Amino acid sequence: MRVFQALILIPIAILALVISFAEAYDPSPLQDFCVAIDDLNGVFVNGRFCKDPMRVNAEDFFFSGLNVPGNTSNQVGSNVTTVNVDQIPGLNTMGISLVRIDYAPHGQNPPHTHPRGSEILVLIKGTLYVGFVSSNQDNNRLFAKVLHPGDVFVFPIGMIHFQVNIGKVPAVAFAGLSSQNAGVITIANAVFGSNPPIYPEVLARAFQLDANIVKELQAKFGP
């Protein structure tokens, strides 16, 4: 009798597990597309309202201009041209986006993270030194490579990563991200340029710096 009861309970337990997964996650979109629109009368999906499918056209899936170099005349010597759901509303619910990154000679895309997406980067022109740092639990290991045209490197979701142009000519890379809006947190800007500022004493102890140096950094990165 006990064996019979156990045999009945096993498929019930499996069914309950399947139902719990089904309620927690949709593995794919439930319609052909959900073009983002700022109309509050639409269907709300993944943080955006959906455009009436009968009004959707090719322009909703189109962007032009990634052939144009970005302006790298700034403090870090790089420029990121983003193509996400804000530029292509048809990306809504698709879980992908794209960027073009231009680097001046010796310019860099400084240490940053993408909280909502992994990144795969392909170098088109120039020479880059790239890498990411693993989490504290993995002893903050650095994974780094020197890339040449045609090389590809992956940055896992949430990991602090960077790219530096170590060549004497401009460099160009394209990167895909596993989110329609992966977000970006530039470490120096977030830590020393927060609004309002973090107490200098907190950062001084965290970074083992003199509080006056922290104040100088906050003056540089602050709003």
- Residues annotated within a binding site: 109, 112, 114, 119, 161
Q: Give the closest residue to 65 by CA, choosing from 84, 80, 81.
A: 81
Residue 48 has a CB neighbour count (10 Å cut-off) of 21
Q: For residues 56 and 62, give the distance between their C-alpha atoms in angstroms, rounded to a whole number.
A: 12
Following CA atoms 183, 149, 164, 95 in sequence, which dihedral angle do they give, to the nearest 10 degrees?
10
Q: Give the closest residue to 49 by CA, choosing from 95, 96, 92, 84.
A: 92
Residues in the chain: 223
Cite the annotated binding site for oxalate by residue number.
109, 114, 119
DSSP 92: T
Strands 48-50 and 43-45: antiparallel
Q: For residues 178 and 45, give the distance between their C-alpha atoms in angstroms, rounded to a whole number.
A: 17
Cite the annotated binding site for Mn(2+) by residue number.
112, 114, 119, 161
The 3-state DSSP class for residue 16 equals helix
CB 214 within 8 A of CB 197: no
| Amino acid in position 3 | V
